[in-house]
Structures are given as C-alpha cells and as structure tokens.
Amino acid sequence: YQRRVHGLQQFEEAVAKRLAALLASIETGASARAERAAAVDAAQAAVDAAKEAHDTSGATLAQVKSEQHDCEAAKEEAIHAIKAAAPGLKAASTRLEEARERLTGFQEGPLAAFHELKDGALTAMDEASEAAEQAPAMDEAAEPAGADVSAATAPAPADKVVDLQAAMPEVSMVAVAGA
C-alpha cells in the first residue's frame, strides 16, 4: 500500500509540476498574446492609413487627369487658333512691310524735300533779316549827324515785305505754315 501511496504522491507531484508549468506557460502566453494583439492593432492602423492615402491619391489622380484633359483640349484649341491666324498674320506682315516701304519712300522723298525747302527758306529768311538789319546801319553811317534816328529804327515798309514774298514764294509758304 505504501508503494501505491508513494506512487500516487509522485503522480500528484508530477501533475502539480506539470500544472504549474502549464500555468506559467499560459501566463507567458497571455503577455505574448497581448503583445501580438498590440502588433495587430498597429498593423491594422497602418493598413487603414494606407487605404485612406490610397483613396485620397485616387481622388487626386482623377482630378489631375481631368485637368490634364482640359489642358490638352486648350492646347488643341490654341493650335487651331494659331493655324487659323497664320494666313491673317502673313497678310498683316505683308501690309506692314508695304507700309514701311511707303514710309521710307515718303521720308526719303517728299519729307526730305520739305525739310530741304524749309531749311533753305529759313536760311534765306535769316539772310534777309541780317541784310535788313545791316541796311539801316549802313544808312545811319551815310546820313549826316543830325539826321532823324527814329527813321532808322522804324520797321521795314510793307512793300519790301511784299517784294520779299514775291521773290521767294517758299519763304512765304513757310511763314504762313509757321503762323
């Protein structure tokens, strides 16, 4: 009987040891389980964030594709507008070149002649004015000392101005144009 009791005690001790080991394993497993649960939660949060970023990126991609389509349509319209404007631009360039040629012809022809006449007329007027100023000075030198000074400083008679205009019509034209 003692053998049996002893065997039974050994069996109970072995079961108790095994039960303690299992309980220790369960406790260790529980903490590992909590760690794995935390890792699963973190991974799920990362997956959720990635899904949200994917959805946002998808919406942004759709918007960008729509804008790209609009830009391509605008580019095509601009190309068509350029092609449509090319003949008009060519005609305008031709008209511009013709107008420049006419302007150059005018500047070298009639305008140059006008400036030559104007400069010649002003020179003639200056010479006539100088001659008129010198003539009274010559008259004063020729007059006796008691002569009337007011006559020397009086303006030129109107018949001399008329004669000057008749002799130089371009001067009278410049004078009328300048007046």
For the stretch 87-128, pLDDT in tens is: 888 889 999 999 999 999 999 999 988 888 888 877 877 777
Give the chain's largest Cα–Cα span: 189
136 confidence band (pLDDT: 50, 70, 90): low
| Distance of alpha carbon 117 from alpha carbon 169, whole angstroms | 11
Considering only 19-28, 44-53, 121-130, which range has the smallest mean pLDDT?
121-130
**C-beta separation of 152 from 140 below 8 A:** yes
Q: For residue 44, what are its two tokens?
A: 């799920």
Straight-line distance from the first to the last Cα atom of the chain, in angstroms, rounded to the nearest whole number? 158
* For range 71-83, the mean pLDDT: 95
What letter would DSSP give residue 179? -
pLDDT at position 146 over 70: no
